[in-house]
Structure 1
């Protein structure tokens, strides 16, 4: 470890042994967001000090662990918290000199974020995450940039509230990949077309 950062082994020890987070779930991302880790598996002195100071938590691991546990319990129901952790994940997941992450990595982090203790991207009749991944696997050959990453969450929030996707329109400001996803869902029969669209056909 350098004087100004913790490398992978020390970071893992701190997160798992001191904060008691599960590295296989979104618990890890919650803790790393609080500590403002610059990358997955690395904690910087600057981010650590400023992150915990901003959280208003005393500089001891007992209080830090208690705070992280409180956040984890809120993650699936607190939209603002989930959005903060979600947006942070993109920054930590990408290489410092890159503007996007690979689709393979995006799948890994979507799976992690949209699973307990995170917010599940499902509605009464649809597993939206599964549909989204199926569509991208079949139709998408590019990487995932920040705008696509962030707008996927905005679409996720809306699709969980309205599984008919009536909020979507061709004239909206969604990225083209989401426009194409909605059309794919409807044209493939996975999601019913609105009555107006059916009558026009």
Structure 2
């Protein structure tokens, strides 16, 4: 699906979201492209800049230019969403939040796009939550942005507790919705060109939900204090591609050493040695 989406967007210039919608409905790339041009998606109505500015003024600090923690808490109350809800990471990406709990006027006005009332914003949150759960490319964008906007100013890494908190929100959401669907490693056919006789009876299994907790326990036991950008970004690819038994991990690939060590840790746990 990812390859088809890339081709669809290259041909049509559409968004990933629209590409996925047309391809899911029409199955074939040529049919989906024809349908896109014959029945293009209806543009969403543009939000009122004046209404968005008025809402921004409602929540921003009285003596400052931005919405900060107090305004964010009030906004969440009005939206009926928990401040620690995973969907707010998607909102942070859309509104280009410079740091946690902070929103700037330009990002606010540009980011809400078609939502200029609290009711419309609630609807947008539902759409973002679904997109974050199901759209692999969108998940990756939000995931990578999370590291950038949550990293303390002047520091190159993210504190372990904070990284674990975000992983605990993002990874289950992507696994359950399909954004982190397993990308199986290709198996070489045997000499007759048939599928390999490895005893497998179905699709290759990937990352399991309990492995996220294993990852946390491994990091804590390792005494790691912070998570680098490289580890953060590569961990996402690792989750999507590793098989459930960690047998197809390529130790010669350019994985961070932290992930190398985790694979050994996980194999030991599977073998009952940890």
Q: TM-score range by the shorter chain?
A: 0.7 to 0.9
TM-score, normalised to structure 2, is 0.60
The two structures have a TM-score, normalised by structure 1, of 0.79
The root-mean-square deviation of aligned C-alpha atoms, in Å, is 2.5
The 8 Å contact of residues 245 and 270 in structure 2, kept in 1 or not, is answered as no
| Partner Cα separation in structure 1 for residue 239 and residue 166 of structure 2 | 15
Matched, 1:70 2:127: yes
Structure 1, 99-108 or 68-77: larger mean CA deviation:
68-77
Could you tell me whether the CA contact under 8 Å between 2:246 and 2:266 is conserved in 1?
no
SS at match of 1:6: coil
Q: Who is 1:40 aligned against?
A: 100
| Higher CA-based Rg | 2
Report the equivalent of 2:270.
Answer: 190
Structure 1 gaps of 5+ residues are: 193-201
Give me the whole-angstrom Cα distance separating, in 2, the residues matched to 1:4 and 1:113. Answer: 30
Q: Which residue number in structure 2 is paired with residue 181 of structure 1? A: 262
Cα distance in 2 for partners of 1:13, 1:126 equals: 33
Partner of 2:6 in structure 1? Answer: none
- For the pair 1:20 / 2:67, whether they are aligned, the reply is no
The 1:109/1:61 distance shift into structure 2, 3 A limit, reads same
Following the alignment from structure 1 to structure 2, what is the Cα–Cα distance between the partners of residues 35 and 20? 19
Q: Secondary structure at the match of 2:82?
A: coil
> Which residue matches 2:252?
171
Give the SS at the match of 2:140: helix
Alpha-carbon distance, 1:126 to partner = 6.0
Instruction: Give 3-state SS (helix, strand or coil) of 1:43's partner.
Output: coil
Rounded Cα–Cα distance in structure 2 between residues aligned with 1:124 and 1:114:
10
What SS is found at the alignment partner of 2:241?
A: helix
Does residue 5 of structure 1 match 2:66?
yes
**Aligned pair in 2 of structure 1 residues 49, 3: CA closer, same or farther (>3 Å)?**
farther
Q: How has the CA–CA distance of structure 1 residues 126 and 47 changed in structure 2, closer, same or farther, with 3 Å as cutoff? A: closer
2:114 corresponds to 1:57: yes
101-110 vs 121-130, greater mean Cα deviation: 121-130
Structure 1 stretch 81-90 or stretch 119-128: which is displaced more?
119-128
Q: Which residue of 1 aligns with 2:12?
A: none
